[in-house]
Structure 1
Amino acid sequence: MSDPTHLEALSLAEAIAARRLSPVEAIEAHLARIAAQEPKLQAFTEVYADDARLAAEGADRAIRSGHAVGPLHGVPVVLKDLIDLAGRITMGGSAAHRARRASATATIAQRLIGQGMIVLGKTHTVEFAYGGWGTNQHLGTPWNPWDLAVARTPGGSSSGTGVAVAARLAPWGIGTDTGGSVRLPASFCGLTGLKVTVGRVSTHGIVPLSATLDTPGPLGRSVADVAMLYCAISGPDTLDPSTRGIDPVDPLPGLRRGVRGLRLARMPRVEREGVSPEMLSAYDVALERFECLGAEIEDIVLPFRFADLMTAQASTVTNAEAYHVNGHLAEDPASPLGDAVRARILAGATVTAQDYLQTQRLRRDLQRQFLAAMEGFDALLTPSTETAAIPLSEVDEGHLPSRFTRFGNLLDLCALALPSGFTETGLPLSLQITCRGYDEAMALRVGYAFQAVTEWHLQAPPDH
């Protein structure tokens, strides 16, 4: 059959389950592609080639003997270098933790492995997941595969997962999102990425940045793939109190219901300021597509500006909690921390208890105001980022690309980023679908309807 690395995850799973393709063939194809592309792309911190081959042999025997553990048995996956695997190094993107070996396996990894998926390796992240461009001063920045001549932002902090999935080194993978860290790589790398609501997916065994805002989530090449991977990792975990009492909701039965009759909010006109013409054009065309599909597109009045209050308030929470976790390293000048990340963490030292508690109260007030503004709407549509991926030489670490993403974390919403077009030079553009907390099924449903009538998500970057 055709090259397995170019199959979407569900197509790969179907081929393996039907025994048209063996897990061994699938793993070998991906490992060969990694060997060929990784010297340029630098998506991985470590590739588990030997273990992946052994797991593939076991999966092949199980499937041939009628002992498949489920529909995803034998499918490869990659994990962001924040997720613990027992006996493996988890650096969290920091040279300060080069020797940090995990003593146990994170819940999310246990669930993937328990369903028969095969971990190809760990992927790069911004140091401590604290940055949106995807840069890493000491461990290196993955190369965005959509431009092989100019090094461009891969998006962060789940940079390596974004690059690996976009470049067909893996069919899908896991990232984390504290201020946009799944959606930003999805935007810059031409992928689909889901930011889940806090408590949907366990964070146990994942290196923390901000306990209040951290959310693990899937990155894939289509809404269908992302929805399936979300189902595989979601659900309560006794080791993570935030997941207790939150009943799982399967988005798959309603995925194909379409958008006819739904009310989708158009962002306020003032929010168009500062967004590139190509991103805005793709956004406007997307709105027209939804209208053609039967959705009602209407203006919304929001109680805030994305770029102002939201970023400041989200930073207060993140900085304080990041300092709580890694302040001792940031305060030590001998620690090999990146300059920008050190500065962000040290900013947390100035957050007083009063500042922190006031911001937490303000979060709840803003959430109520936002939900009141969303009354009668099913989703809010915005671009995912202001521009397509920019050259690394133009990155300003003092200005993060999370204008349209951070409010979703601050207000505990869910959101889906997905491809909406390309620039004239062939760089991906992206649409964001934001829904109320715990309404991932609606975000995926709206996104699926869009991908059913577009082909942006089917495009692949060039091979070098």
Structure 2
Amino acid sequence: MTNDPLLSPAHILSWDVAARRLSPVDLMDALLARIATYDPKLHAFVEVYAPEARLAAEAADMAIRSGHALGPWHGIPIAIKDIIDIEGRITTGGSASRLNHRATTTATVVRRLVNQGMIVLGKTQTVEFACGAWGTNQHMGTPWNPWDARTPRTPGGSSSGSGVAVAARLAPWALGTDTGGSIRMPASWCGITGLKTTIGRISTHGILPLSPSLDTPGPMARTVRDVALLYDLLQGPDPLDPVTRGRQATDPMPTLEHGVRGLRLARLPAAERTGVEADVLDAYDRSLAVLAGLGAEIVDITLPFRLVDFVSMTQIMQSESYFLRGPTVEDRSLKLDEFVRSRLLAGAGLSATDYLAALRHRDEMKLLMEAALTGVHAFLTPSTATAAMPLQEVDQKTTPTRFMRFANILEMCALSLPNGFTAGGLPTSLQIACGGYQEALALRIGHAYQQATGWHDRIPPAAA
């Protein structure tokens, strides 16, 4: 055990608690003290359930000491994105219009974790209605990216608070959701690891929807191993979510240590490198060299389209989100983020023909991508074209999801993990995209890379 348990990843905390080297109460007290110290500036949490969390830690401690532990995760804390319901708790969805919206159900993902004995620390900030990749929120507040102690920068969204909380060691891990990059964006800019799962792999029951055809919950943590362990707890069929039926769980742990020797990994085509920051490209090229040194074969592929083309393929998301949120965004008496309102209103002008044509076009592009990746185990890209930007430079009419959106539309899975730092000390990130339901493979590749590097161990200056 390290001297400071908050520097340990979740799986080490689990070992230490099980071995009675660390008490769940001491762990909870340390986390709550850290949140009290750093979160007034970082603003990662909407609400911290301090009294209840400490009571749960005391109960976990007594159960473990009496030989009644629920399992290896009993007493381990977790943070939850504030679009995920917990019965009796407020779910704002990042909107000031929902400050009194008390949930009447508990999301399946939360129920599965609580059944393992995990303790919910609280709810983390999100872009309003999870609709935005920069991580900003006009009325509820934008979390502070902890990698710059002086200048407020983009934390990445929409799972902004979860990314900041994990990066700043306010929580060992957290839940987020990814509809167009919303787990991978904060993972990239906050220097942590996040997994975009395949549609239907993890239940969305009890999660405020943005675009049901694209919404995917997933884990966010500092290490690939923690992400894999949390993913394994979350996945599997749920009778309350029809999309998950027939999707049997695939344990990623047996293959996690198998390395990358013999795998064929596709690099970014030369044409896709334009417009990417030099430091980001340097970190990306070094990542390819590391994986090649571990025995992977780095290969070239010809894409049937430009990745940026997917940024403008918004008809599916716009149609579904307007169907769900139309009455709310049309009500001008409600205090909504003006940029989010504008994004959601864009769906008002789309017809059923537009929507169905977009679905058919997606299916056609899936076939083209599958053909392009024949014989390839994963497609590697930078997660983002830039490091985190100063908030004052953000153009809200644009999106930073250039390298991410394709995975959502083509129903792939993708892992983002730290792969370096810019000259200014901001984290860069590698994205490992695999075919649908190949999460175990993406995690295996990411774990091999992370075992050979140490980027994930650094602590942000605003949380040091």
1:370 match: 369
Amino acid corresponding to residue 392 of structure 1 in structure 2? L
1:185 match: 186
Report the TM-score, using the length of structure 1 for normalisation: 0.99
Cα offset for 1:335?
1.2
**1:183-234: per-residue Cα shift (whole Å, max 9, x none)?**
0000000000000001110000000000000000000000001000001111
* Distance of 1:224 and 1:418 partners within structure 2: 12
Cα offset for 1:304?
1.0
**1:380-423: per-residue Cα shift (whole Å, max 9, x none)?**
00000000000000011111110111110001000000001001
> Following superposition, which runs of at least 4 residues in structure 1 exceed 6 angstroms of deviation?
none
Cα offset for 1:7?
1.1
Q: Show structure 1 runs of 5+ residues with no match.
A: none
Note if 1:333 corresponds to 2:332: yes
Amino acid corresponding to residue 74 of structure 2 in structure 1? H
1:52 match: 53
1:147 match: 148
Cα offset for 1:2?
1.4
1:388 match: 387
* Equivalent position SS for 2:456: helix
**1:109-157: per-residue Cα shift (whole Å, max 9, x none)?**
0001000100000000000000001000110000000001000000000
* Distance of 1:445 and 1:424 partners within structure 2: 29
After TM superposition, the structure 1 = structure 2 runs for residues 62-141 of structure 1, keeping only pairs within 5 Å, are: 62-141=63-142
After TM superposition, the structure 1 = structure 2 runs for residues 1-12 of structure 1, keeping only pairs within 5 Å, are: 2-12=3-13
Note if 1:342 corresponds to 2:341: yes
Cα offset for 1:303?
1.1
Cα offset for 1:312?
1.8
**1:46-85: per-residue Cα shift (whole Å, max 9, x none)?**
0000110110011001111111111111100000000100
1:431 match: 430
1:355 match: 354
* Equivalent position SS for 2:38: helix
* Equivalent position SS for 1:288: helix
Q: Aligned residues, how many? A: 462
Amino acid corresponding to residue 149 of structure 2 in structure 1? L
1:411 match: 410
Cα offset for 1:332?
1.2
Q: Percent identity among equivalent residues?
A: 59
2:302 match: 301
* Equivalent position SS for 1:419: strand
* Equivalent position SS for 1:86: coil
* Distance of 2:232 and 2:298 partners within structure 1: 29
* Distance of 2:164 and 2:72 partners within structure 1: 25
1:201 match: 202
Amino acid corresponding to residue 437 of structure 1 in structure 2? G
* Equivalent position SS for 1:175: strand
* Equivalent position SS for 2:287: helix
* Equivalent position SS for 2:419: strand
* Equivalent position SS for 2:84: coil
* Equivalent position SS for 1:30: helix
* Distance of 1:431 and 1:103 partners within structure 2: 39
After TM superposition, the structure 1 = structure 2 runs for residues 263-302 of structure 1, keeping only pairs within 5 Å, are: 263-302=264-303
CA root-mean-square deviation: 0.7
2:449 match: 450
